Each structure stands twice: as structure tokens, then as C-alpha cells.
Structure 1
């Protein structure tokens, strides 16, 4: 974006907000510009910069005089024909440019809207879609790996009764092999009971963890 564009960006944004102040106007203008609604709203919120090419496109598509966007205006100064074009979603030209700021000024290529095929997707939209797909793919991968580990741990817990029975038998052999104090016998038996109790608690937590991981599929 050139220095002059940077100075005008505040004015452009204010006029763009002015043109889209009515309910649904931002959506209508985005469709008239064959542009991403979400990206236009980021521009309106000051989260994305945009180029003079896009500004001239707004003027051409809505019927505003060339240069109208370069000067601050009030709501009463919006031409009736531009307001009507936005309200009725009736573009007066076809915009095939981009909003992405560039140092070299591009030339607006408005075309008659009749008989034109659907416009190509904007480069920035493709970039955003590619990044979103990459994040979703990465999320699915790490979620599947986590789910596999949880299931593996669950299988280990489910097989634990056999190992626990063997361990219990060996501890009972120790108790029977010696004349142990009653307190020691009670302590050994109590430890075995606590191990079994906590195994059941772990199983419940693992089942809940698996359910939560499965529910994340709907929030990708």
C-alpha cells in the first residue's frame, strides 16, 4: 500500500462503514462485490487493510462518483442511487479486483453484469480457506492420536483384573507364609482394596475422556 493510500485508509473505512450502516447492508455489498462477507466485516472492524483498487470498485459497483470515497461524508451525503443499489443488491458493474493492499496500483476492471459467469475466488479467500483446512486436518490428526492412546489405556485397565488377581494371590501367599501382626495384615489387605477401587475410578474417568474427545468432532 502506498503512502497516499495509508493516509486515505481512515477516510475510506469511515465511508465504507457509512455505506453499510443499515442492517444487512454489509452482506449485500459483499455479494455485489463478489467478495467474502467475513473478510469485508474484518475490513469494517479495522482488522484488515484494503487497497484503492477495492475502493474504486465500491464506487463503480454502487454507482458512486469516482473519488467520492476519498472525502469524508455524512449519512445525508450518500447519493440516492448508491443507497438504492445497495438496498436492492443491484450492482452496476462487475468487480474482479482484490482488496489486498499492494504497492503497485492495480487497474479496476468493471464489466457489465449481464451475461457474465461467476467470478473467480479472490486470492486472499483461497489463502484463508487453505489455512483453515490445514488447521482442521492437524486438529483431526492430534485428536485421533489422543483417542488411540486413551483407548489403549482403557484396554490396559480392563485387563487389569487378571493381573490384580495374580497380585492379590501372591500377597495372600505372603500373609499365609508368616505370622504377621494383625495391623500389617489389615494394611496389606486394605492396599489391595484401594488399588481395585481406584482402578474403577480410573475407568470412569477414561470413559468420560473418550466421550469429550468424540464431542470435539462437532466443533472443528
Structure 2
């Protein structure tokens, strides 16, 4: 993370907490940013750092003025359009970036002339650097693909073609229209309850999976 980001991180986090102070706001904002709610909550709790790219994304998605997140604010200073966007979960832009902070550039110190590696050693080190870069690039690619698939699956669960409530109502209509014995009726009711229960459990597992993927770094 750059030095300027480290100085602003407490302000960013405080404003992020402010924006998500309403019940359910953190989950709504996470979905607007196409992040898992659990990972965003780790940011809010100070257990994960995040980048300026993510902060600028929050401003764009919620309609906040550019640079708004860089200055401490009170609750009454949240613009009405941003509050409305979060309340109604209506993103005003699409965030395609990452929350991962940019690592500081390594400072290279010249070695004494007698300690400099010979040509063969330099070639070996360059080969290792190329291989490491290739592995890191491959890792980022497969991680991003996996994350996209998990998010797509989560959206499918949240916005399935058939609403669970609608399906339940139709099944209950059948139960009301037929003279079922107690065993069959209890079985039908139990199936509906289990479907609802396991859907919520599945969503929690998907959120956790997204959080774990997001926590993976190139060096892991």
C-alpha cells in the first residue's frame, strides 16, 4: 500500500462505516460493488485493508462526489442521492476493480561491485523472475475466473427465475385444494421448509467462498 493510502485509510474506513450504518446497508453496498458481504464487513471491522481504487469505486457506484471519501463526515452529510442508492440497492455505476491495496514498490539498493552477481547468476535470477511472474499471472487469471463464477452463482441464487415464495404459494394451493392425509401434508410442508433453509445456508457458503477467494494473494 502506498504511503498516501495508509494515511487516508482510517478516514476511508470511517466513511465506509458511516455509509453502512443502517441495518442491511453493508450487505446492499457489497452487492452493489459485486463483493461478498462478509468480505466488506471485514473491511469495516479493520481486518482487511483496501485500495483507493475501491474507494473511488464506492463514490462512483453510490453517486458520491469525487473525493468525498477523503474527508471525515457526519451522518447528516451523506448526500441524499447516495443514501437513496444504498437504501434501494441501485448502483449508479459498475465497479470492475479490486479492493486489494497496491503493494509498495521494492527499493533496490546497489550492491558493492565485488558483490555483484556474475553473468550466469544474473541469467538464473532473470529466469526465476520470469517463471515467478508467469505463475503469478496464471494464479490471478484462475482466481479471477473462479471469483466471477462464484458471483454469478450467487446472483443466480438471489435472483432465480422462479421466486421461492411463488413456488411455496403454488404448492400450498395444491395442499389446500386436495384432501391430503396428515403424513403427506407434513412431508410437503417439511420439504418447503428444508428448501428455504438450505437456500439460506447455500448463500452463506457462497459468501464465505467469495471472501476466501478475495483474501488469496499472489504469493499464497
Q: TM-score scaled to structure 2, two decimals?
A: 0.49
- Which fold has the larger relative contact order, with Cα–Cα distance below 8 Å and residues 6 or more apart in sequence? 2
Larger Rg: 1
Q: TM-score scaled to structure 1, two decimals?
A: 0.49
